[in-house]
Structure 1
Amino acid sequence: MTVSQWADNYRILSREESPNAGHWNTDNTPYLRAIMDTFTDKTTQIVTFLKPSQVGATECAINICGYTIDRSPCRIFYVMPDEDLAKDFSVDRLQKALSHTPSIARKLGKADKSKALAIRFEGGFIRLTGANSPAKLASWAIPRVIMDEVDKYPKWAGREANPISLVKERTKNWSWRKIMVMSTPTTEYGYVYKSFVASEIHYDYQVPCPECMKYQVLDFKNLKFPTEINERRLASETYYECPYCKAHIKDKHKMTMLRRGKWVSRELLDYAPKTVGFKLNTLYSPWVRWGEVAMEFLKSKDDPSALMNFVNSWLGEPFKSKASYVKAKTVLQHKTHLKAGICPKDTLLLTAGVDVQKGYFYWVIRAWGAKMKSSKIANGTAVRFEDLMFQLNQYFPVEGSNNKLQVTLIAIDTGYRTTEIYDYCYDYYPLIIPVKGLKSLKTGYFRRVSLDNMKNKTMYNRLPVDMKLYEVDTNKYKDMIMYRLNKEVGSDGSWAVDADTDQEYAEMITAEQKVPDENGNEVWKQIGARPNHYLDCEVYAYLAGDVMGIRTMQAPLEEPSYEENGNSSGYSAGVYKPFG
């Protein structure tokens, strides 16, 4: 009996687990059949499932556990990113699912949080653990292993080898070992993608067109939908276009197509492979309509972080950043026709970013228009702070008018001369905000933190009450900058530079490229000894724009009046409100 046959005959779904309570039916997710059944074939040892979210992968793993307890008892290792996730999964999902199947319910004790990491049964056990516990990974000899969300595992578990290697090491004594590796991917350096590529054979699920009956892989490029973010239109007008007959395939056809589908290998082998790879995307999900996929893409396409999540969690693909390496000439190709010091006619506000070095400053001024269209209008260096502020406090003429603008907000680095920089921020509050670059933030692009814990309490006591330090995720902002360099100058969201931009500036903007860190995540790092000061300035200018709300600013219905009236924002009173 295969795993899928066992599940169809014995697995019971409760209403708590599924709206379709009752007997499990693999025909509802037919693409899982072959994946589950690799655990009962005679040759496969390592199965890699490169998957999106919402395709039933975890149910596949639960069925393997149930089959093992009921029909082929032995030891199973179930590894998740950390022990808290493993414990919650065991108590809230795995043990409940197993207890609802009568043929194995009598073999299990009650779900108990304190015993969640060890589910015992006659002839074996399921031991759950986190990938961040190297001692536990190396403590048992195990013939069957399920490794869930492997791209979220730490690459190094303390001083031991990485968790993937530790687990594989514990299975090598069994010729009939079975290891399932499954995860939504992150980048090409992530473990699940590398494991998929290393497989001897690779399978894609092909389904027949309801019109011409030709089998094909569902590909996002063939999904047709309106470009307006309108839920009603997307639900009714989105369709999948058959690349052969151009038929318009609707959601109502999907289930029939899935049940007639089949896994097709990319290679023809004359032997039975030991390592097998399967790949899916969310277009196959019975629970997700094609209009929802289109909606998610439209909402995320202009934000690199959101786009990466769409590529990973919806398309089941590793994110391949176009911005991983940008040449200096690409920056120079983004020049506008305006000379330095002149604002584009559609400018709404100016921001500046300052990178502080031991004996001097680098600075950049960027003009922002509606829909995040921006252009650098000036950059340079200064030795003294007074010289810096002289440059940044000027009035800059607007193209084709008598209007002039001043910088609304300056973001200045606090990495060097920290106490001195806070003094400057105090003297020019609220025109200047202090900034500290971080490699990453779990959520968002920046956060405001209190200055209460500063070492220099005397200096802190004279700071304005609402003055904060801005911690900025430099990797996300660099992603954003490089992503927008792919847009045509003048288009929505484009990132341009003035006509006087020189090679030095362009070399600094492209002084970094994306490389994998020790955890397999892509991060921006300098190339050799090339300085990156202007890139840091642009990150801070971008942050200042975000603080001012550039992501939601729209062009005014009537052109506002700008006056040289001493207003530090450069705007007439009542038009814009800084920090608002």
Structure 2
Amino acid sequence: MSDAIAVLAEYGADAAYEAGLRAQVRQIIAQSFSPPPDLTVSEWADEYRVLSPEASSEPGKWSTARVEPSRGIMDAFADPDIEIVTCMVAAQTVKTEVINNVAGYHVHLDPCPMLILQPTLQMAEAYSKDRLAPMIRDTPELSAKLGNAARDSEDTILHKKYSGGHITMAGANSPASLASRPIRILLCDEVDRYEASAGKEGDPVSLAIERTTTFWNRKIALVSTPTIKGASRIESSYEESDQRRFFVPCPKCGHMQHLQWKQVRWPDDKPLEARYHCEYMDSETGELCDHAWSEAERLKAISRGVWIATRPEVKGHAGFHLNRIASPWRALGEMARDFVLVRKHPERLKTWVNTRLAETWEERGERANPDSIYGRREEYDAAVVLPFGVGTITASVDIQDDRAEIEWCGWGADDESWSLDYQVHYGVPNTPGFWEVIDSALLRTFQHPAGVEMRVEASCIDSGGHFTQHVYNFVRTRMARRVYAIKGIGGPGRPIWPVKGTVNKAKNVTIFVLGVDQAKDMHYKRLEIKEPGPGYCHFPLAEHYDKKYFDGLTGEKAVLKTDKKGFTVKEWHKVQQRNEPLDLRVYNIAARLSLGLNMERRLMALRVAAANAMNAAPKPITVVEETVQAAPHAFPGRRRVRSRGVER
């Protein structure tokens, strides 16, 4: 650096510029050799941090004691023996404020270059505006350092300079933001939501870590709620760590234990009265403590908790796992109530496990047993009358070179479904008569027991085969009937039904791109449901619903594989030659999601129509010899009365 100054002096550099450069050199030397701050991160937060009203339910001065589990996590960043910090934690517990406090600590007491990495650039901007900016504004020590950033031409929403360092916010989906500036403190938030690769550059976490290699005192943090077992970044990192858990004492026996969902119990149908039960068993007598903690006792136990490494032999990598049972923000009964509400919904239960228990979701039964589903078929004939629970109808069409396969599906409360009919129409898709048959099929109506004729409200037609243009021609004039041209795309994270369609201006048509992997996940989870109710799939005793149909309905299985970059990915592989029933069910799921339908209101209207129809029916004539016969598929409560040859 002194050589650089000498060169500037030799060539007549401006005196003010030279003085500024000398000041920078002195600052760098001072930072390099100065002792670390006396305060830990939690002590700094207790002393200086102020919570903002728009970012906290309890604005005002920060208190680590209010959320005791955060203490050990924050202080790991001040431990010189720890280089990597992994936090696999429940949503809405401690993770965002931990990141904020670590950033604030370094801005104030230990200036250095920092990078806060979010899943996307949009999320990075939102974090900067909604979390970082209010913290800077309301914490005086930070506003003194960063408060003038808006007047600095080099500062932006995603880049904040201060004396001795900067905070950069970036998106894991942006290669450019991961390929500049050396970083000493790397804070990666929600890593399980990152794309597998930042463009074509590779793993975004690895790219970001590369930027820390020049710092001997670097800190790398990976923070997230987990997702799928075997494909979760945060779980993989936690398993490599010293695996710390938050242990709390039982209020009665004092036994230290980390809080587990299996110890939470409640009286039948009263989840709000849930209590945590001590796990301790006396090894000599076999006697259980089983003390049921009151809510006050649970909160007191949390306040006395400590982090204990379950793999202390691992050095330099601190891993923290924390579920919402250890959170003071929500009562245990509310968590139990939420569980009761989602336990019969596989998709919602998965989210609950990830966000409340901070555990990965293990995919099971990726190929349901076709024989067991075949064996549970039911006696109903939708061609005569619909099952009463149906509130809307969708259809799906799969176009092959010599035929079209069509399935109609009825949907009820909580996406309970009824397969209504399955037909195969043979013909060549480039002939007008072929599409007349398809049009007639999609205009088909069904009789509801409430006396209402129901039509198909949304239809999906696959446009990915050899007759794409013919599909486009067909749907172009039928969009008002919600007849959609769709194309299925695999890959994680893609929504089943897109936010909006993709407009092909050249073809004058809108195509809807489906996330078929997500739909298959949903479909297989629903097939696992054993009892009628939310998500359950009903199938009729009908000609087309034979064993061949159910083989096709379960015609693929999910396989976890490691890709070329070392990531675990899920791939769907055929286990049957023909899988049209599976494809059609995926398209019907998408068609159902396309409908912004208030199902509860729809079903209520059908119940009212049914009641009105019953009240308007004429009373039967009373005769001595009256024969009552049950009408096949009649709405329960109605009957046919034969009297003297007259049916009423």
Match runs of 1:31-110 below 5 Å: 31-98=69-136, 100-103=138-141, 105-110=143-148
Match of 2:527 among 472, 485, 507: 485
2:206 to 161, 165, 169: 165
Q: 1:106 and 1:413 mapped to 2: Cα distance?
A: 60
Of 206, 209, 217, 2:258 maps to 217
C-alpha deviations, 1:395-427, integer Å up to 9, x for none?
Answer: 9999xx9x9999756734141435544666699
- Structure 2 residue aligned with 1:134: 175
- What residue number does 1:464 align with? none
CA RMSD of aligned residues (A): 4.4
Moved more, 58-67 or 130-139: 130-139
1:297 aligns with 2:361: no
Residues of 1 paired with 2:87 and 2:403: CA distance?
53
Please identify the structure whose Cα radius of gyration is greater: 2
Give the TM-score, by structure 1 length.
0.78
Counterpart-to-counterpart distance in 2, 1:120 and 1:243:
51
Residue 79 of structure 1: how far off its partner (Å): 1.9
| Equivalent residues of 1:206, 1:216 under 8 A apart | yes
Match for residue 4 of structure 2? none
Find the partner of 1:504 among 538, 548, 561: 548
Distance 2:296 2:100 in 1: 29
**One-letter amino acid matched to 1:151:** D
| Paired amino acid for 2:399 | V
Deviation at 1:503, TM superposition (A): 3.8
Q: Is the 8 A contact 2:353 2:359 kept in 1?
A: yes
CA deviation digits over 1:449-468, x for unaligned, max 9? 789866566xx8xxxxxxx9
Is 1:411 the counterpart of 2:459? The answer is yes
The answer for the alignment partner of 2:275 in structure 1 is 239
Select 1:259's aligned residue among 294, 303, 306. Answer: 303
The TM-score normalised by the length of structure 2 is 0.70
- Specify the code of the residue in structure 2 equivalent to 1:256: K
Instruction: Tell which deviates more after alignment, 65-74 or 361-370.
Output: 361-370
Shift of the 355–551 alpha-carbon distance from structure 1 to 2, 3 Å rule, reads farther
Conserved? CA contact 2:149–2:161, under 8 Å: no
1:448·1:469 contact (CA, 8 Å) conserved in 2? no
Q: Which shows bigger deviation, 6-15 or 162-171?
A: 6-15
Structure 1 residue 179, shift from structure 2 partner: 0.6
For residue 209 of structure 2, give the secondary structure of its aligned residue in structure 1: helix
- The C-alpha deviation readout for 1:293-314, integer Å capped at 9, x for no partner, is 2343344444444333322222
Give deviations 1:149-203, integer Å, cap 9, x for gaps: 222223212332321111222223444321111012222313222212222x111
Amino acid at match of 1:382: H
Contact 1:352/1:407 (8 A) holds in 2: no
Q: How does 1:7-26 map to 2 (within 5 A)?
A: 7-13=45-51, 15=53, 18=56, 20-26=58-64
- Quote the Cα distance in structure 1 between the aligned partners of 2:590 and 2:168: 46
The alignment of Structure 1 onto Structure 2 pairs a total of residues equal to 545
Identify the match of residue 273 of structure 1 among 315, 333, 341.
Answer: 315
Contact 2:345 2:534 in 1 (8 A): no
Q: In the alignment, does 2:568 pair up with 1:532? A: no
Alignment of structure 1 residues 359-508 onto 2, 5 Å: 359-366=402-409, 372-376=415-419, 378-384=421-427, 385=434, 408=456, 411-415=459-463, 416=465, 417-418=467-468, 420-421=470-471, 433-439=483-489, 446=497, 472-491=514-533, 493-499=535-541, 501-508=545-552
CA distance in 2, matches of 1:260, 1:479: 41
Q: Which SS does the other structure have where 1:112 is aligned?
A: helix
CA distance in 2, matches of 1:132, 1:450: 23
| Corresponding residue for residue 203 of structure 1 | 244
CA distance in 1 between partners of 2:453 and 2:410 (Å): 10
Cα distance in 2 for residues equivalent to 1:351 and 1:19: 43
Asked if structure 1 preserves the Cα contact closer than 8 Å seen for 2:497 and 2:512, the reply is yes
Supply the distance in 2 between the matched residues of 1:277 and 1:376 (Cα, whole angstroms).
48
Distance of 1:256 and 1:125 partners within structure 2: 39
- Whether the 8 Å CA contact 2:346–2:525 is kept in 1: the answer is yes
Residues 98-126 of structure 1: per-residue CA shift (max 9 Å, x gap): 45445554333424294343333443333
Aligned partner letter, 1:506: F
Deviation at 1:447, TM superposition (A): 6.3
How far does residue 360 in structure 1 lie from its aligned partner after superposition?
0.9
Deviation track 1:473-506 (CA, whole Å, cap 9, x = no partner) reads: 5444433321221122545542133456444323
Asked if the contact 1:334/1:495 (under 8 Å) is kept, the reply is no
Q: CA deviation at 1:204?
A: 1.5
Tell me, yes or no, if the aligned pair for 1:131 and 1:153 is still in contact at 8 Å.
yes
* 3-state SS, counterpart of residue 77 of structure 2: helix
Residue 227 of structure 2 corresponds to 186
Distance 1:13 1:428 in 2: 54
Report the identity percentage.
27
Contact 1:514-1:522 at 8 Å conserved across structures: no
SS at match of 2:486: strand
Give me the whole-angstrom Cα distance separating, in 2, the residues matched to 1:91 and 1:345: 51
CA contact (8 A) 1:70 1:103 kept: yes
Q: Which amino acid in structure 1 is aligned with residue 325 of structure 2?
A: L
On the 8 A contact 2:49/2:61 being kept in 1, the answer is yes
Change (3 A) 1:168 1:327: farther
The one-letter code matched in structure 1 to 2:114 is I
Displacement after TM superposition at 1:275 (Å) = 1.7
Corresponding position of 1:465: none
Which has the larger displacement, 550-559 or 324-333? 550-559
Indicate conservation of the 8 Å contact 1:45/1:275, yes or no.
yes
Partner in structure 1 of residue 292 of structure 2: 248
Of stretches 106-115 and 203-212 in structure 1, the one that deviates more from structure 2 is: 106-115
CA contact (8 A) 2:471 2:485 kept: no
Distance in 2, matches of 1:62 and 1:395, equals 58
- 1:484 counterpart SS class: helix
CA distance in 2, matches of 1:369, 1:224: 32
Matches within 5 A, 1:300-379: 300-336=342-378, 346=388, 348=390, 352-366=395-409, 372-376=415-419, 378-379=421-422
